[in-house]
Every structure is written in C-alpha cells, then in structure tokens.
Chains A and B, each alone.
Chain A
C-alpha cells in the first residue's frame, strides 16, 4: 500500500517542551530544540542523557508525555506513523539487517511494500549499493551474515535511503566499528552527505566524530539540552564545565597559545589577486577562467578587500569596477599569535581574514578551516 509523501524537504523541525518520564525518572526534561532544514545536527552526551530518546521521538518510536514536535509546521502526532516513518531514514549502531533476506531484499523491502514494480526496485537497489561503494552485482544476492561489519553498516545506510527520505536519523551508526574503519566511514560519509543534501540528526558519544561531521552540536546531559551551537562556539564559549570537559578545550588547545598565524594560514596564489580598477565583467571572466570563486582586490600592493564570484554575477550589467564592491576583511600579520586572532574573528563573525607580511598580502586565514585542522 503506497503511503503519502508527507514532505519532500525539511524546512524546520521544532521540539517544544518535550518531556518523557520512565518510572518517575526523566528521560527527557522539557526539551526545546530547533533543527534547520538541511543541517546536520549531532547530539552528544553521556549515556542516559536522553539523546537516543530524542531521536526516537522524531519518528514516533517513542511518544512524549507532554510537549509537541512539529516538522515543517505540522504536528507529527497528527500524522500516520507508518507514513511518517517511511519519510524518515533510520540507521542504528547494530544495523538490524533482516537475516532471512538478501541484501537486495533488505534494501528494497519498503519499496516493495509501497508497491513498486520489480524492475524499479532492482534499479534503486543497484543505485544505492553503488552509492555506498558496494559493487551491486557482488552484493545483491548475499545474506547479511556474509558481510563484514562495515559492509553491513553501508547496507544499513542504503536501506534507510531507499525511499529517498528528506530526513535521516542516525543513532551511533559507526559506534560498533573498529577505530580505523570508523574514521574511514566517517570520511566517506562526509562526502556522501554533500551529495545527499538531507537533514540529518545524528547521535554519538564521540566528540571527534561530532567535530568532523556536524554543522551544529547539541550537548545533552541528565535529560536536558545543555548547549547547542557550532564546534567553535562550544569550544570558545562552553556553557559550563560539563560542556568544557566534553569538548575537552583544555587538552586540545594546549598548543594553541604557541601557534602563530603563519602556521595555519592558507598561502595565497597570485591568481587570486585582481586590481581594484578592473571592471566587474572582466573580473568575472577572469575568475571563471581561473576556476576561483573568491578574489583579493588590491590597490597597488595594498589589499582593500575581497569579492565573491556569485555576488559579482548578481550585479548584472554594470560599469562599476571591483574596487567599488570590495568587502573589507580583517587583516593580521603572519607572526601574530593565532589564538587571540581567532577569538577576535569569531566575536566579529568573520569567516575570512587576510594575512600580511610586511604589509603585503601573503595568505588567507579561514577560522572554520583552522578549526577543522585543530580538532
């Protein structure tokens, strides 16, 4: 029986005052959480902190005692459970591939229940297996027990994607794998994620995994959401000691006070530099030809700011020069200390800065990228 396509994309998920008690103990205590469409939110916290319960409430495996959950403004309590779940992919640590079905049957099960014809299912299964880097002709007819843990987890992901759900819930999907394989799958998942463009809520207890994958991280403790924000926000402004100890600020940044900007800057290639007197359309041609999306606008040897290709293209027909549209960015000397500069950039909300050597521009500093290198 085909079920309704409830949402094609996620605009927002809102949890409001969600509470769940088990035997008088709070599993979730008055949780309010906003998830943006397209983001990857990672929930992290000690076991029993309520992160899995939160996840399982979104596909109604667990119903809250009080509070509401809205997806795209619609209260999910009003939706039929089966249709809701077929619109949400679900991946768990122990995978749970059905042992009596082949890999193809496992992946295609819901499509079959939806009444797809055999060819369409087989096509989709092949596509998904290739998508998770398992050669389809080798794996379609195998049984789950014939696969390694990593291969099973890939199949688990493929199965969750069969109905192309706009939302994915993942509960420690890499938790049971050995550390090297886990890193590998994380890397692969980073790439896959870009292609998927889905909203993902992900539970883990591995802070490095969270730093690597998340757009935002929500820290949970004792049935409450303690803090939510980007990795940067959590590290620089932990709400309390518990958050600080989870993000492990002290340890990871012990060496930060000795780092200088030049250690982590991105050196500048000359092709990025464009004269301020250059006409906008000429600059666009030049940037397209060089395959760059960002240009440094310089006046003689002095950098005045940056322009971005999409912004320039949006200007349309104009006789302006790029000097008229240059956006000024902060500038630091390459021998300055990294930490205060990062803090400064963070506070002012800049995502890019110039690095200069004796007044000449020598590179960029991307605080977000620096961040990724550090953690």
Chain B
C-alpha cells in the first residue's frame, strides 16, 4: 500500500530522471571544483605572496547567500544547469583551495627537512612528500564542498536546472505533500549517503597518509 503510493509519486515526478540530472550536475561541479581548487591551492603554495588576497576573495564569494548568487549568475549564464554548476563550483573553491594550501604549508617540517637532506629536489618534495601528506586535509576540504554542492544543486530547481530541486519546487507549488515528502527525504538521504562515502574515503586517506 505504502510502497505502491511511493512508487506512484516516484513515477509521476520522474524521480529517476531527476536523480540522474541531480547527480550529473553534482558530479560535474565537484570534478571541476576539485581540479581548479587543488591546482589553485598548489599554485598559491608556490606563490605565498598572493595566497592571502586570493583566499580572502574566495571568502567574500563564500559569504554571498546562495539564492542571490544564482540570480547574479543568471544574466551571464541564463537559466538552467549552467549557472547552477557555476555557483556550486564557486562555493566549493574556498574549502578545497584553502585546505590544499594549508595542508601543503603545514606538512611536518621534519619530513621536509629530511627530504632536503636526502637530496630531493623542490619538485620531488612537493609531489612525493607534501602532496601525499596533505591528502587527508584536501579530502576534508572536498567533503565540505560536497555538502555545499548538494545544497546548491537542489536550489537549481528554482532556475529550471532540473534535478531533485525541480521536483521539490513543483511539489511545493502544487502543494502535493507526497511529492514534497518523497523528493525531500530522498534528497536528504542522498546527501547523507554521499557525505558518508566521502567521510570513509577521508578516513582511509588519513590512515594511509596521515602523520603518526
């Protein structure tokens, strides 16, 4: 009885398609944000002079509330998926970049010292010592980004980006309690699952690359 109701609501709102849309936007945003964020973090580490201004700028971006940010992006990217993905990336950059930069900078000096003494070049030290030892910290940043991105992608429903947000908005507008409940709980559950998954990866990295 309950299950068939649930199936009806799921089918009526094409929640399978919505979920795929949702996760597609989410994945694109996270992959791009990770690439840019980690690269930017490494770059800032190599140019400490500009690290603070750049991180401060990202901080400012972070303080813009999500709905206004989406609205601000509309004139540039129009409606739909693009502004949603761009907003997700903008929010994700700060935690990823900041954690990468801090992670690289705060690697225990004794390992850097001995690496120098063994005759590792600056480049070798970066790639073989600093980056591996920062991975748990970088993963921590990614996990924060992941939570932000889930939220923004859901809000994308407001600007015709599709995804689970669209189903949720439709439910609210038509006042369909079933739709609101199913889409809402499912979105929440998805976020918890993804966060749990990211957490377990972080823990693994901590075990493998953490300092003992």
Task: Verify A94–B119 contact, CB threshold 8 A.
Answer: no
Q: Mark A91-121, 1 if CB is under 8 A from B, else 0.
A: 0101110111000000001100100000000
7 cross-chain CB contacts under 8 A: A82-B121, A90-B114, A90-B117, A92-B114, A98-B111, A98-B129, A113-B120
User: Is B110 on the interface with A (CB-CB < 8 A)?
Assistant: yes
- Complex Cα–Cα for A275 and B208 (A): 71
Task: Verify B128–A109 contact, CB threshold 8 A.
Answer: yes
Task: Verify A99–B133 contact, CB threshold 8 A.
Answer: yes
User: Is A328 on the interface with B (CB-CB < 8 A)?
Assistant: no
Chain A minimum-CB-distance residue to B112 = A96
User: Is B118 on the interface with A (CB-CB < 8 A)?
Assistant: yes
Task: Verify B110–A94 contact, CB threshold 8 A.
Answer: yes
- Complex Cα–Cα for A92 and B209 (A): 22
Give the Cβ gap from B118 to chain A, nearest Cβ, in Å: 6
Residues of B within 8 A of A95 (CB): 114
Task: Verify A100–B118 contact, CB threshold 8 A.
Answer: no
Q: Mark A52-70, 1 if CB is under 8 A from B, else 0.
A: 0000000101000000000
Chain A minimum-CB-distance residue to B133 = A100
User: Is A166 on the interface with B (CB-CB < 8 A)?
Assistant: no
CB-contact partner of B212 in A81, A99, A113, under 8 A: A99
- Complex Cα–Cα for A144 and B120 (A): 20
Residues of A within 8 A of B118 (CB): 85-86, 90, 109-110, 159-160
Residues of B within 8 A of A142 (CB): none
Give the Cβ gap from B146 to chain A, nearest Cβ, in Å: 23
User: Is B116 on the interface with A (CB-CB < 8 A)?
Assistant: yes
CB-contact partner of A110 in B119, B132, B208, B210, under 8 A: B119
Residues of A within 8 A of B128 (CB): 109
Residues of B within 8 A of A100 (CB): 132-133, 208-209
Interface centre among A90, A92, A98, by most chain B C-beta atoms within 10 angstroms, is A98
Chain B minimum-CB-distance residue to A105 = B128
Task: Verify A96–B119 contact, CB threshold 8 A.
Answer: no
Task: Verify A96–B209 contact, CB threshold 8 A.
Answer: no
Interface members, chain A 152-195 (any B CB < 8 Å): 159-160
Task: Verify A61–B208 contact, CB threshold 8 A.
Answer: no
User: Is A351 on the interface with B (CB-CB < 8 A)?
Assistant: no
Interface members, chain A 32-66 (any B CB < 8 Å): 59, 61
Residues of B within 8 A of A99 (CB): 111, 133, 209-212
Give the Cβ gap from A346 to chain B, nearest Cβ, in Å: 39
Give the Cβ gap from B112 to chain A, nearest Cβ, in Å: 9
- Complex Cα–Cα for A94 and B128 (A): 20
Interface centre among A92, A94, A99, by most chain B C-beta atoms within 10 angstroms, is A99
Residues of B within 8 A of A3 (CB): 119
Give the Cβ gap from B128 to chain A, nearest Cβ, in Å: 7
User: Is A145 on the interface with B (CB-CB < 8 A)?
Assistant: yes
Give the Cβ gap from B120 to chain A, nearest Cβ, in Å: 7
User: Is B113 on the interface with A (CB-CB < 8 A)?
Assistant: yes
Q: Mark B193-212, 1 if CB is under 8 A from A, else 0.
A: 00000000000000011111
Give the Cβ gap from A128 to chain B, nearest Cβ, in Å: 14
Q: Mark B68-95, 1 if CB is under 8 A from A, else 0.
A: 0000000000000000000000000000
Residues of A within 8 A of B113 (CB): 61, 92, 96
- Complex Cα–Cα for A96 and B128 (A): 14
Task: Verify A145–B111 contact, CB threshold 8 A.
Answer: no
Q: Mark B133-168, 1 if CB is under 8 A from A, else 0.
A: 100000000000000000000000000000000000
Give the Cβ gap from B34 to chain A, nearest Cβ, in Å: 20
Task: Verify B114–A96 contact, CB threshold 8 A.
Answer: yes
- Complex Cα–Cα for A59 and B116 (A): 10
- Complex Cα–Cα for A119 and B124 (A): 22
Chain B minimum-CB-distance residue to A156 = B114
Residues of A within 8 A of B132 (CB): 100
Give the Cβ gap from B205 to chain A, nearest Cβ, in Å: 10
Give the Cβ gap from B164 to chain A, nearest Cβ, in Å: 38
A96-B110 in contact given A83-B119, A86-B119, A113-B120 (Cβ < 8 Å): yes
Task: Verify B119–A144 contact, CB threshold 8 A.
Answer: no
Residues of B within 8 A of A81 (CB): 119
Task: In the A-B complex, list the 9 residue pairs whose CB atoms are closest, starting with the nearest.
Answer: A85-B119, A96-B114, A86-B119, A145-B212, A90-B117, A100-B209, A100-B132, A96-B110, A82-B119
Q: Mark B100-124, 1 if CB is under 8 A from A, else 0.
A: 0000000000110111111111001
Interface centre among B119, B128, B133, by most chain A C-beta atoms within 10 angstroms, is B119
Chain A minimum-CB-distance residue to B211 = A99
A85-B210 in contact given A100-B133, A113-B124 (Cβ < 8 Å): no
- Complex Cα–Cα for A147 and B113 (A): 21
Residues of B within 8 A of A94 (CB): 110
Known: A61-B116, A99-B210. 15 other contacts (CB 8 A): A61-B117, A82-B120, A85-B116, A85-B117, A90-B117, A90-B118, A92-B114, A94-B110, A96-B114, A98-B133, A100-B132, A100-B208, A110-B118, A110-B119, A144-B212
Task: Verify B120–A59 contact, CB threshold 8 A.
Answer: no
Chain B minimum-CB-distance residue to A56 = B117
Task: Verify A96–B111 contact, CB threshold 8 A.
Answer: yes
Chain B minimum-CB-distance residue to A59 = B117
Interface members, chain A 64-90 (any B CB < 8 Å): 81-86, 90
Residues of B within 8 A of A110 (CB): 118-120
Give the Cβ gap from B139 to chain A, nearest Cβ, in Å: 13
Give the Cβ gap from A41 to chain B, nearest Cβ, in Å: 19
